[in-house]
Amino acid sequence: MADTDRRVVITGVGVLTPLGIGGAALVSGLLEGRTGVGPLRAFDVDGVPCRGGAEVPGFDLRTLALPKHRKTLTKSLKYMARDIQLAVAGAELAMSDAGLAEGGVDPTRIGLDLGAGLISSDLDELAPAVQVAMREGGVFDFGAYGREGIATIPPIWLLKYLPNMLACHISIIWDCQGPSNSITEAESASSVALGEARRILERGRADVMISGGADSKIHPLSLVRMALFDQGSRWEGDPAEACRPFDRRRTGWVPGEGAGIVILERAEHAERRGARIYGEVIGFGSGCDAVPGGGMDPEGRGIEVAVRAALRDAGLEPGQVGHVNAHGAATVASDQAEARAYARIFGPRGVPVTGLKGALGNTASGSGAIELIGSLLCLARGQIPPTRNCTDPDPALELDVVTGSPRATDNPIFVKTTWTRHGQAAALVVRAHREASGS
């Protein structure tokens, strides 16, 4: 392409979170210090250590679908797990927000790059097959499962749970014929997807990319996995206070759900059509610090690699960053490792840090994009959102945590970090536009 403008801008956002549906609900909830975490209501949690969760209130894809898509999406619901429905709804909101609901982009020049996670199966779809193969004493008969059990599983079962189905349904609805990819990298998935989408646009392979991610950990199997890996919060008080990023009394994370879909666009293309611009993605980096035997490096070197790479990509020094929107998993080890990485990059207490999982829960593969949107929209009001439930910041972490109330700022640049328990890290550098506050 002859065009030499490689800038990539954000022209639309579609977000569904436990604080509500849409950017306005997210911003007001964050800046008012509210939380979407509470007692889990979707199913019985007796016997599970973590009884709290963060559910998207009042979610129904049919009510969020654009009129021209409503009939098709209603018929497709039987093929969509909740994770997929959240992503599709996010894309409906984002494309409308970007002014692209009625088209205007060459279908061959619009693509997708989405983060997705392990989608848990509905228990009533698999339980009959398992029951057929169970023998006395809890012995599982694999032969019986193959001969008789599999035949009881609905034929369309797999179509509901493949992680690439988020992108598949969106691409069909919006006739996206450009590059398409799905990233499955746990909590770092949507951040990596956004970084990769930006690079596709920089290379001139597309004009518009639908990116971000979605996930739902509000599921019995997800809670069982959390218990097995000892990740979930063991807070015994009010569930709303259970997730405590960087707090001295943190005990683990709380499952959440949501979608954060971002429309990325080549700056020249966006300006030519007169699009509103929320901000610009100016840097991306990734890293990994998995240690032998599994787990994360207690020094957080993967995060350090990712952040330094993102800053180099953006052409910035650490001192130019206005705040870090941290991963903030609220586990003792993860928060400690993350804080050590920031101390080496920015200096002890060298940059304001916020973590949004106390308000949103851990939205897993959607968290990078959802939390990025949180900072992006709050900065449009000149505010850094506070870290909910960090009432007693751990002094050993040496962080300048934004607590209590929002913090005023005139610096539009922030870094969004994400990290997995396997040490996969990603960082994005974003410059927000003050005049774009979202809907």
Assess if residue 439 is contained within a domain: no
**Domain match, 88 and 187 both:** yes
Confidence (pLDDT) at 44: 79
**Domain match, 294 and 147 both:** no
Assess if residue 402 is contained within a domain: yes
pLDDT band at 1 (very low <50, low <70, confident <90, very high): very low
CB 173 within 8 A of CB 230: no
Hey, which residues does 17 pair with through a beta bridge? 20
Confidence (pLDDT) at 298: 93
- What CATH number is associated with residue 13? 3.40.47.10
Assess if residue 257 is contained within a domain: yes
**pLDDT of 278 over the 50 cut:** yes
Which class for 401: exposed (0-12), middle (13-18), buried (19 or more C-beta within 10 A)? buried
Q: How far apart are CA 241 and CA 361, in angstroms?
A: 11
**Domain match, 75 and 132 both:** no
Confidence (pLDDT) at 210: 98
199-242 tens-digit pLDDT: 999 999 999 999 999 999 998 888 888 888 877 888 989 999 99
Residue 50 per-residue DSSP state: -
**pLDDT of 181 over the 60 cut:** yes
Assess if residue 326 is contained within a domain: yes
Gyration radius of the chain's alpha carbons: 21
Q: How far apart are CA 251 and CA 232, in angstroms?
A: 8
Tokens of 189: 């998935």
Q: Count Cβ neighbours within 10 Å for each residue of 357-376 and write b for 16 or more, e otherwise.
A: bbbbbbbbbbbbbbbbbbbb
pLDDT average, residue stretch 117-130: 91
**Domain match, 66 and 95 both:** yes
**Domain match, 153 and 166 both:** no
262: closest CA among 91, 384, 414?
Answer: 91
End-of-domain residue from the set 112, 132, 157: 157
**Domain match, 204 and 233 both:** yes
What is the extent of the structural domain holding 286? Answer: 8-120+161-432
Q: Count Cβ neighbours within 10 Å for each residue of 45-54 and write b for 16 or more, e otherwise.
A: beeebbbbbb
Annotate 128-153 with DSSP letters as a single string: HHHHHHEEGGGEE-HHHIIIIIGGGS
Assess if residue 437 is contained within a domain: no
pTM of the entire predicted model:
0.95
**Domain match, 67 and 132 both:** no
Q: How far apart are CA 72 and CA 240, in angstroms?
A: 37
Tokens of 111: 């693509």
Q: How far apart are CA 402 and CA 245, in angstroms?
A: 11
56-112 tens-digit pLDDT: 999 999 999 999 999 999 999 999 999 999 999 999 999 999 999 999 999 999 999
Count helices and strands in the chain by DSSP H and E runs: 14, 18
**Domain match, 309 and 418 both:** yes
**Domain match, 48 and 145 both:** no
Tokens of 385: 């959102």
Confidence (pLDDT) at 234: 87
End-of-domain residue from the set 100, 132, 157: 157
